[in-house]
Amino acid sequence: MRELWQSLLRASGSLRWQIIALCVLPTLYLFASVVWYAYSARDREVREELRSHGQTAAVTLANRTAYALSQGQLTQVRESVQTLLKSDPEILSVTIYGEKRQPVLHETNGKTPIRPPDVLTEAVVHKPVYWVSLQQSGGASGTQPAMLNQEKIGTIRIALTAKQALAKRSQQFSVGILITSLALLVSMFVVAQLSGRLTNGLEQAMQAIRAIRQGERPERLVALDKGELGELQQSINQMSDSLDAARHRMEALVAERTRELEQSRNDAWAAREEIRHLLGRMHEAIEQERQSIAVEIHDELNASLVGTKLLAQRIVQLAQGGHQQSQQDIVQLAGQIAEISKSLYANGRQLVQRLRPEVLEVLGLAGALEEMLRVAQQSCPATRFEFEAQENWPELSERLAISAYRIAQEALSNTMKYAQANTFRLHLYAESNHLLMQISDDGCGFEPGQASQGIGLAGMRERVMALHGEIQIRAAKGVGCQIRVSLPLHGSQS
């Protein structure tokens, strides 16, 4: 029944038919249940009433004919039976049996065709006994003797038919069904009218909502009802007015914001030109510094290395001689090599200090990283390089800025050398007193457990650990690589 109800609601489709179904179907079900119960209970009630009526008639006839039957006056008994048959058309026949169950009298209702009886009732005929009440002198009543068992002298059986009672009940049942059917039809008509009025108002409201959803201004709804439907229509009108006003405000804000963005874009282009000019001058300075370092390496470091080589060869020759004087010379030469090595170390340290990226001092960390990606884009146009950084930056220490720059530089170098990526992304931001870098590419990837521990990843980890930071590297074959670096903003002062 539940599945049938749900299927009917789904098949009804429109709201109006659903309302009609919700109102009419339970009424029809109740109507059918009442009709079925009334029809099924009709026969049972008729038979119960007929049995009670037959039992009363049998007992009455038994009491009336007891004396005549005990005296053998069958003519008087027959007259009483015929009188009963004439007065009660529901009685088909009356049969009187004797003391030993032998038939004594059988009378039928000649007006009713012979048919099987619907109800049979019996009553026992007892021999009449009369009591005489004796009164003592003085006005005191005598005691009545105990009741004796009455003697059975016969049995009366009455056969009854339910035809007339059923016909009368059927007529009443038909009238009740007719009245109920008319009431049901009136109710269905009222439901159809009310549902039509309700669904028409809801349909207008839905059309207005569809227009609002499509960005159009709907026609104002005329609230005909004062109930919930009228309140809904008024609410839709108010919502339409509010949305229209909000649309105008939004258009004005968008126009103003567009003008601001255009001005910002023009300012950015102007600033970009200045930055390019500044970067050009910076690159010239870097090239000059590189040439200076190359000259210094050639003039000082190479000469020192050649001298060290000659001293080492002399030590080998003296060691092969095996003399005491040779050992002293070896010690002296070794001291000279140590002095040259010390000088080489000092010169190398100076060169390392000079090799610090100057772009950090000019543009800051975010600008230096953006410039690094711009240069990479020019050298590798097949890959798209994306950079994102927050606007306001806290003050960064020199050590932290250089480490972050070198980490990003190494990740970029690995991507360009090995990843064969289409896109390289670098996201730089500060959060919870930490400098965070999100680096990712969509290249061929690698297995971290099987990757060679070269100076690239190892150097990145060492830089992070030196600043007490954290680094997470996630990579797999065919899915690229993601690197997340977290460096504390405080406690990393150089």
Residue 149, classed as helix, strand or coil, is coil
Q: Identify the pLDDT of residue 141.
A: 46
Return d(Cα 225, Cα 207) in angstroms, integer.
18
* pLDDT at 424 exceeding the cut of 80: yes
- Distances, alpha carbon 63 to alpha carbons 129, 153, 156, 224, 474, in Å: 12, 12, 10, 78, 111
Contact 485, 437 (CB under 8 A): yes
The closest alpha carbon to 25, from 44, 41, 11, belongs to: 11
pLDDT for position 487:
93
Extract the tokens encoding 283.
């690159």
Q: What is the mean pLDDT of residues 116-136?
A: 72
pLDDT at 18: 67
Residue ranges of domains in the chain, CATH in brackets: 2-128+151-179 (3.30.450), 231-353 (no CATH), 364-488 (3.30.565.10)
Torsions phi, psi for 128 (to 5 deg): -70, 140
Per cent of the chain over pLDDT 90 is 8
Beta-bridge partner residues of 436: 429, 486
Give the mean pLDDT of 52-73.
85
Strand partners, 486: 436, 470
Per-residue pLDDT, 311: 73
Of 136-140, 264-268, 448-452, the one with minimum mean pLDDT is: 136-140
Q: Say what the pLDDT of residue 436 is.
A: 93
Higher pLDDT, 334 or 285: 334
pLDDT at 324: 58
Q: Is the pLDDT of residue 10 over 90?
A: no
In this prediction, residue 483 carries a pLDDT of 94
Average predicted confidence (pLDDT) for the chain: 76
> For residue range 349-383, what is the model confidence (pLDDT) as tens digits?
566 545 566 677 778 888 889 988 998 898 888 99
Please give the residue that has the higher pLDDT: either 134 or 51: 51
According to the model, what pLDDT value does residue 285 have? 56
**Which has more confidence, 97 or 279?**
97
Calpha distance 481→473 (Å, rounded): 7
Worst-scoring range by mean pLDDT, 31-40, 204-213, 444-453? 444-453
Most confident of 67-76, 198-207, 265-274: 67-76
Average of per-residue pLDDT across 224-233: 65
Q: Can you point out the beta strands (E) in 49-199?
A: 91-97, 103-108, 119-126, 152-160
Rounded-to-10 torsion of CA 69, 70, 71, 74: 10
Give the closest residue to 92 by CA, choosing from 77, 81, 80: 81
174: β partners: none
More confidently predicted of 164 and 157: 157
Cβ count near 220 (within 10 Å)? 12
User: Does the reported pTM lie above 0.95?
Assistant: no
What pLDDT shows up at residue 357? 65
pLDDT at 387: 94
Q: What is the pLDDT of residue 140?
A: 45
**Which one-letter DSSP state was computed for residue 214?**
T
Comparing 296-300, 318-322, 350-354, 403-407, the range with the smallest average pLDDT is: 350-354
Mean pLDDT, residues 441-466 taken together: 75
Most confidently modeled range among 131-135, 164-168, 275-279? 164-168
User: Which one is predicted more confidently, 300 or 79?
Assistant: 79
Task: pLDDT band for 440, please (50, 70, 90 cuts).
Answer: very high
Asked if residue 155 has pLDDT above 70, the reply is: yes
Whole-number Å distance between alpha carbons of 153 and 99: 5
Greater confidence, 14 or 120? 120
- Residue 392, Cα to own-chain centre: how many angstroms? 41
Q: What is the pLDDT of residue 143?
A: 47
Residues 6+ apart with CB under 8 A from 152: 99, 124, 125, 126, 127
Query: Which of the two residues, 13 and 50, has the higher pLDDT score?
Result: 50
Tokens of 253: 């804000």
What's the burial of 165, exposed, middle or buried (CB within 10 Å: 0-12/13-18/19+)?
A: buried
- Strand-pairing partners, residue 152, are 126
456 phi and psi angles, rounded to 5 deg: -65, -70
Specify whether the CB–CB gap between 243 and 211 falls below 8 A: no
On the question of pLDDT at 224 being above 60, the answer is no
Residue 384 has pLDDT above 90, yes or no: yes
- Can you tell me which residue has the tokens 């005489």? 132
The pLDDT score that the predictor gives to residue 25 is 74
Question: Given this model, what pLDDT does residue 277 score?
Answer: 62
Distance of alpha carbon 93 from alpha carbon 88, whole angstroms: 11
Q: Sorting pLDDT into bands at 50, 70 and 90, what band is 437?
A: very high
Phi, psi of 487, deg, nearest 5: -120, 130
Mean pLDDT of 245-269: 86
Tokens of 329: 């010379």
CB 316 within 8 A of CB 251: no
Give the per-residue pLDDT at 142: 46
Helix and strand numbers (H, E) in the chain are: 10, 9
Residue 90 to residue 165: CA distance in whole angstroms: 8
Residue 146: the pLDDT is 45
Q: Look at the block and give the residue holding tokens 């609601």.
A: 9
- CA–CA gap between residue 494 and residue 478 (Å, rounded): 40
Contact 296, 351 (CB under 8 A): yes
Could you tell me what percent of the chain has a pLDDT over 70?
A: 71
